[in-house]
Amino acid sequence: MSIETKVIELEEVSIRFSGDSGDGMQLTGTLFSDTSSLIGNDISTFPDYPSEIRAPQGTVAGVSGFQIQIGKKKINTPGDLAHVLVAMNPAAVKANAKYMMPGGTIFYDSDSFNQKNFEKAKFTTDDPFTELNLLDHIKVPVPITQLTREALKDLEIDNKSILRSKNMFALGLICWVFSRPLDYIEKYITKKFGKKELVLEANLRVLHAGYNYAWNLQHMTPRYVVHPAPIEKGLYRNISGNLATAWGLLAAAEKAGLELFIGSYPITPATEVLQALAERKDLGVKSFQAEDEIAGICTSIGAAFAGDLAVTSTSGPGFALKSEALGLSVMAELPLVVVNVQRGGPSTGLPTKTEQADLLQTLYGRNGESPVVVVAASTPSDCFYYAYMSAKIALERMVPVVLLTDGFLGNGTEPWKVPKVADLPSITPRIARDASKFKPYQRDPKTLAREWAFPGMDGFQHRIGGLEKDPGGNVSQDPANHQLMCEIRRDKVEAVADMLPNLELVGENSGDLLVVGWGGTLGHLDTAVRELQVKGTKISLAHFNYIKPLPSNTKEVFSKFEKIVVCELNLGQFVGYLRDKMPEHQYHQFNKVQGLPFTIQELSDHFIKLIEE
Amino acid sequence: MLETLNYTLKDFKSENEVRWCPGCGDHAVLNAVQKAMANLGIRHEDFAVISGIGCSSRFPYYMSTYGFHTIHGRAAAIASGVKCANPKLTVWEITGDGDALAIGGNHFIHVIRRNIDINIILFNNKIYGLTKGQYSPTTDRGFVTKTSPMGTIEDPFVPGRLVLGAGGSFFARCVDNNLKHSQEVFEEAAKFKGTSVVEVLQNCVIFNDGIHEAITDPKTREERQIFLKHGEPMIFGNNRDKGIVLEKGKLRVVQLGEDGVKPEDILVHDASDQDGFLHQSLISMKLPDFPVAMGVIRAVPSKVYNEAMEAQIAEAKAKSKITSVDQLLSSGNTWTVE
């Protein structure tokens, strides 16, 4: 009896690579994503890894995962549930069982399915699939370890290196399953291991062994076809949110004609912003890895005083440490961009997981009346644009700007149509021109922004500081003056609204339910709302990138809907802010704090319930 | 090319009224810094004076240069940012024993470790003056203050030892009431490439009056202070008849001419000695067994952070194919959708 390969044609498909944190799953996932982009799929990725670099082998705590969704249509999220799981050990199956699509396929390393590993993963029987109730899934056992050894048996290579190349077997196998060519991966491996011939040879061999194995056993392996997505013409690349943030800041510096300074301190999941800028000394970046978070922001404030586009990057705990200094930049009215790649909190919290719970800290977490502009990016690639806009606002309005991204955006990747710097909006720093008229706190009457003069500029010598001053820049303790200056600093931030685009809706301008979100949840909210719209539901989405100030038309937009629900990955922070700003509306809220993104399913279910209520 | 700059002290005074207490040592230090700056041949607009919080940190307001009065303890970090952003500037940090050694201790040791080219003037009055009289990290053990009514139960930092421990390349000491000597030391600190720390023994006339008097009283100055100069023998005393010798690995005060001590037995000061052993011993000398060491105790040319940063940028620019953001965005793994 001949059995044909089962071909499953899909609009989109989610794949999860999963193994020990030392198994190379992040690289495997990344190479698969890049290959998929190159053949024209739209993609979205989500690395999900533990905070321990090498947690105990074989345990559920040590499982590192990488999920990717590829599609022939626009892909907004890495997918709620995986169609396909690649599991390098029993713990990986256990950790991912709840993220599997019913009827999905599980490829697993059958060599690792032994008593020792069952025990490590705390299975009580020797049948993990039954124990996890994964009964209607297609399970494909592959002796990955043994076949990897076999492929390398005549190479003089140590056992550790053999085991390390197992991930290439899995990658080769999955490339066949999804009809991906190997040439990009081969090029990558060759570049990476070019000088270590033996390692290069081993990796290439194992990659092909995996691919050929799947091809040979095609009768038992389902094959998936996902056609290319129809996308706009142009030059594309895959980009992560952290890299996009770094590059957006570089673009802003170039556009503004300034040098870029980043003072920062390594912290998960924001470190890549500092690393990406440290790599760009060729574009004149001055990167300063400081002794702590406080020195990170303080060196940047010094650089802003000295005339650079100054930036500091961090995540929640580090942002807390920067609070006092951020207040100094509010008081001194210096341009500064602070990037907060949010993670689960409070305290050390969930360092590698995503969350949106630093909003209130960002808005209010400083002593005194201390307003800053707050901007939030909403996809990995638009981190570029919002980092750019954060710098533009800071430089044109002489104000600190906090850019909120999160672990999901920072680590996630998607294809991005590369823009031209010439097409980006202009940036005109408020550099003082006329020494005879210069006073440090003289303001533009409309924007209330002061002028910027820095050491080295002849005739503009002046003193600034953290003490309250009068409009002329002299230290002042006068009671009425303090109130006036507090109001000016508030109004200056509010005046930024005149630079912002109107809030635009996904969907009609009125309806039964307005879904409100901000920042990194856009992909999930957008997908859930559009799916319900297709089914005829009168639902629209208002997604915010500008939090403080809010876009000018926000009130008007909100007034056209029966119900409003604010969805966030916290216990209700933006909704509290909206209740304060626009108390005339009644707000429902949908909150999740599990260190994970929303799922489209849970959003849809909740929206339908709300409309029917 | 250097142009001739004929500045005087007045060119560095601001119109702001100086509001330190009458008799405060800070007045004299302000004068000495202004005189030093006028002598340096550096353009007025290229000075930046950065301070933290404390009495002395009001300093920038009394200068006519660029100035930034920042937050408690962070002046070293902010000054580091200023210098790295624009290495052409001459950056001075004004700080105190609380600002630099307590709340700002971390920034203090790290700026020294990096050897960023800034001049740190550390006003040491061994007390918190602006908060009206609490003990500081340089207050002597047992000293009674408002927060140590039974005397402190901790040992103080010796700033110079901390500088050495952090790998410092320049340390000097002077006294507020010796304006001429302070000015000389400040000029040497400014000319030195790298982090220069100058500890100024400064009198707080209100909360710690006379704390340094045993050392600083002009009447006994020559007996109780030794003014070190690179290349010159370590001689002091009203009659310049006392000297420092090294005996069995330890310093000792000797009387010239007594016990057969000859001039050639006296140590000659070498500020540029890489090994910090003698510098450490000199920094640690205290009354009554020793005079207190003044002047430039250590000045060892070392690699400078901001210069290395500039050099790396220049090297990367020369080597890289990427010269614009557009080139960066289209570099690496890209593909074209037709």
* A231-277 per-position pLDDT tens digit: 788 999 999 999 999 999 999 999 999 999 999 999 999 999 999 99
Task: Please report the pLDDT score of residue A472 as a whole number.
Answer: 80
The residue of chain B nearest to residue A296, with distances taken between CA atoms, is: B77
How far is Cα of residue A80 from the mean position of the Cα atoms in its chain? 17
> Does residue A514 fall inside a structural domain?
yes
For A81, the token pair is 């549930």
Are the beta carbons of B52 and B31 closer than 8 angstroms? no
3-state SS of A242-269 is HHHHHHHHHHHHHHHCCCEEEEECCCCC
For A379, the token pair is 């996809």
**Inter-chain residue contact A457 with B322, CB threshold 8 Å:** no
Last residue of a domain, one of A174, A203, A225: A225
Best to test chain A binding among B313, B315, B331 (most A CBs inside 10 Å) = B313
- The per-residue DSSP string of A432-484 comes to ---GGG--TT-B-TTT--B-B--TTSTT---EEESS-B-TTS-B---HHHHHH
Task: Summarize the confidence of residues B153-164 as an average pLDDT.
Answer: 98
Identify the DSSP state of B290. Answer: S
| Peptide bond preceding A445 in cis form (omega within 30 of 0) | no
Please indicate if any CB of chain B lies within 8 Å of the CB of A473. no
Last residue of a domain, one of A374, A403, A423: A423
Task: Summarize the confidence of residues A541-570 as an average pLDDT.
Answer: 97
> Does residue A494 fall inside a structural domain?
no
- Distance between CA atoms of residues A585 and A42, nearest Å: 38
CA atoms within 13 A on the CB side of A447: 16
> Does residue A557 fall inside a structural domain?
yes
The SS3 call for residue B62 is helix
CB count within 10 Å of CB B158 equals 17
Q: CA A467, A469, A471 angle in degrees (round to 5)? A: 160
In chain B, beta strands by DSSP E: 47-51, 66-69, 90-96, 118-124, 170-175, 196-201, 225-228, 235-236, 242-247, 250-255, 292-299, 335-337
pLDDT exceeds 80 at position B2: no
Task: Please report the pLDDT score of residue A3 as a whole number.
Answer: 44
Residues of B with Cβ-Cβ distance to A475 under 8 angstroms: 61
Are the beta carbons of B202 and B21 closer than 8 angstroms? no
Q: Which pLDDT band holds residue B1 (cuts at 50, 70, 90)?
A: very low
The SS3 call for residue A313 is strand
Q: Work out whether the CA dihedral A437, A438, A441, A445 comes out positive or negative.
A: positive
Q: Which pLDDT band holds residue B247 (cuts at 50, 70, 90)?
A: very high
Who wins on pLDDT, B271 or B17? B271
The SS3 call for residue A168 is helix
- Distance between CA atoms of residues A164 and A170, nearest Å: 12
Domain ranges for chain B: 9-232+269-306, 237-267
Best to test chain A binding among B34, B43, B45 (most A CBs inside 10 Å) = B45
**Inter-chain residue contact B336 with A236, CB threshold 8 Å:** yes
Same domain (yes/no): A295, A386: yes
Same domain (yes/no): A97, A191: yes
Residues of B with Cβ-Cβ distance to A263 under 8 angstroms: 77, 81
Count, in order, helices (H) and strands (E) of chain A: 22, 23
- Among residues A29, A27, A30, A5, which one has the least CA distance to residue A17? A29
What residue type is assigned to position B247 of the chain? E
Task: Summarize the confidence of residues B198-218 as an average pLDDT.
Answer: 95
The residue of chain A nearest to residue B44, with distances taken between CA atoms, is: A458
Task: Summarize the confidence of residues B248-266 as an average pLDDT.
Answer: 93
pLDDT exceeds 80 at position B264: yes
Residues of B with Cβ-Cβ distance to A299 under 8 angstroms: 77-78, 80-81, 84
**Inter-chain residue contact A463 with B14, CB threshold 8 Å:** yes
CATH of domain B9-232+269-306: 3.40.50.970
Task: Summarize the confidence of residues B213-224 as an average pLDDT.
Answer: 96
Task: Please report the pLDDT score of residue A227 as a whole number.
Answer: 81
Same domain (yes/no): A152, A254: no
**Inter-chain residue contact A298 with B107, CB threshold 8 Å:** yes
For B68, the token pair is 């930034």
Task: Please report the pLDDT score of residue A10 as a whole number.
Answer: 78
Are the beta carbons of A123 and A97 closer than 8 angstroms? no
Task: Please report the pLDDT score of residue A589 as a whole number.
Answer: 98
Residues in Cβ contact with A585 at an 8 Å cutoff, skipping those fewer than 6 apart: A558, A559, A564, A578
Residues in Cβ contact with A359 at an 8 Å cutoff, skipping those fewer than 6 apart: A374, A404, A518, A547, A568, A570, A573, A574, A577
The SS3 call for residue A169 is helix
Identify the DSSP state of B111. Answer: H
Helix (H) or strand (E) holding B216: helix B213-216
The residue of chain B nearest to residue A325, with distances taken between CA atoms, is: B71
Helix (H) or strand (E) holding A187: helix A183-193
> Does residue A449 fall inside a structural domain?
no
Distance between A343 CA and the closest CA of chain B, angstroms:
26
Last residue of a domain, one of A400, A423, A446: A423
Interface contacts (A, B; CB < 8 Å): 204
The partner residue sitting opposite B45, judged by closest CB among A418, A422, A457, is A457
Same domain (yes/no): A106, A150: yes
For A:401-430, CB contacts with B below 8 A are 418-422
pLDDT exceeds 80 at position A9: no
Task: Please report the pLDDT score of residue A4 as a whole number.
Answer: 54
How large is the ipTM?
0.97
How far is Cα of residue A40 from the mean position of the Cα atoms in its chain? 22
What distance separates the 2 farthest-apart alpha carbons in chain B?
Answer: 96
**Inter-chain residue contact A455 with B86, CB threshold 8 Å:** yes
For the sheet with A234-240, list strands across it. A413-417, A234-240, B335-337
- Distance between CA atoms of residues A48 and A544, nearest Å: 26
Q: Which pLDDT band holds residue A221 (cuts at 50, 70, 90)?
A: low
What distance separates the 2 farthest-apart alpha carbons in chain A?
Answer: 95
Q: How many domains is chain A built from?
A: 3
Same domain (yes/no): A282, A219: no
Who wins on pLDDT, A544 or B335? A544
**Inter-chain residue contact B68 with A332, CB threshold 8 Å:** yes
**Inter-chain residue contact B86 with A475, CB threshold 8 Å:** no
Same domain (yes/no): A196, A256: no
Indicate which CATH number applies to the domain containing A413. Answer: 3.40.50.970
Are the beta carbons of A201 and B304 closer than 8 angstroms? no
User: Which residues, listed in sequence order, are joined to residue A314 by a DSSP beta bridge?
Assistant: A340
Q: How many residues does chain A have?
A: 613
For A348, the token pair is 């050390």
Residues of B with Cβ-Cβ distance to A235 under 8 angstroms: 330, 334-336
Q: CA B269, B281, B26 angle in degrees (round to 5)? A: 85
Are the beta carbons of A469 and A332 closer than 8 angstroms? no
| Peptide bond preceding A222 in cis form (omega within 30 of 0) | no
The residue of chain B nearest to residue A424, with distances taken between CA atoms, is: B326
- Distance between CA atoms of residues B306 and A551, nearest Å: 42
pLDDT exceeds 60 at position B59: yes
Please indicate if any CB of chain B lies within 8 Å of the CB of A278. no
Residues of B with Cβ-Cβ distance to A466 under 8 angstroms: 53, 69-71
Identify the DSSP state of A71. Answer: E
pLDDT exceeds 70 at position A220: no
For B318, the token pair is 């020369």
Range in A133-142, A362-371, B71-80 the model is least confident about: A133-142
pLDDT exceeds 60 at position A554: yes
Same domain (yes/no): A255, A179: no
The residue of chain B nearest to residue A253, with distances taken between CA atoms, is: B325
Same domain (yes/no): A260, A221: no
**Inter-chain residue contact A455 with B66, CB threshold 8 Å:** yes
Same domain (yes/no): A315, A415: yes
- Distance between CA atoms of residues B240 and B203, nearest Å: 27
pLDDT exceeds 50 at position A184: yes
User: Which residues, listed in sequence order, are joined to residue A416 by a DSSP beta bridge?
Assistant: A237
Same domain (yes/no): A198, A246: no
Task: Please report the pLDDT score of residue A1 as a whole number.
Answer: 34
Same domain (yes/no): A255, A216: no
Same domain (yes/no): A588, A509: yes
Average pLDDT over all residues of chain A: 94
- Distance between CA atoms of residues A330 and A398, nearest Å: 9
Give me the domain span that covers residue A219. Answer: 7-225
Task: Please report the pLDDT score of residue A5 as a whole number.
Answer: 59
- Distance between CA atoms of residues B68 and B16, nearest Å: 15
Average pLDDT over all residues of chain B: 96
Task: Summarize the confidence of residues B17-40 as an average pLDDT.
Answer: 95
Identify the DSSP state of A10. Answer: -
CB count within 10 Å of CB A284 equals 18
Q: Which pLDDT band holds residue A2 (cuts at 50, 70, 90)?
A: very low
> Does residue A359 fall inside a structural domain?
yes
Indicate which CATH number applies to the domain containing A89. Answer: 3.40.920.10
Buried residues in B14-25 as b, exposed as e (16+ CB within 10 A): beeeeebeeebb
Are the beta carbons of A466 and A328 closer than 8 angstroms? yes
pLDDT exceeds 90 at position A325: yes
For A530, the token pair is 């559009």
- The per-residue DSSP string of A283-302 comes to GT-EEEE-SSHHHHHHHHHH
Please indicate if any CB of chain B lies within 8 Å of the CB of A299. yes
What CA–CA distances, in Å, run from A319 to A293, A327, A332? Answer: 8, 12, 19
Identify the DSSP state of A223. Answer: E
Distance between A353 CA and the closest CA of chain B, angstroms:
28
Indicate which CATH number applies to the domain containing A534. Answer: 3.40.50.920
Helix (H) or strand (E) holding A492: helix A479-494
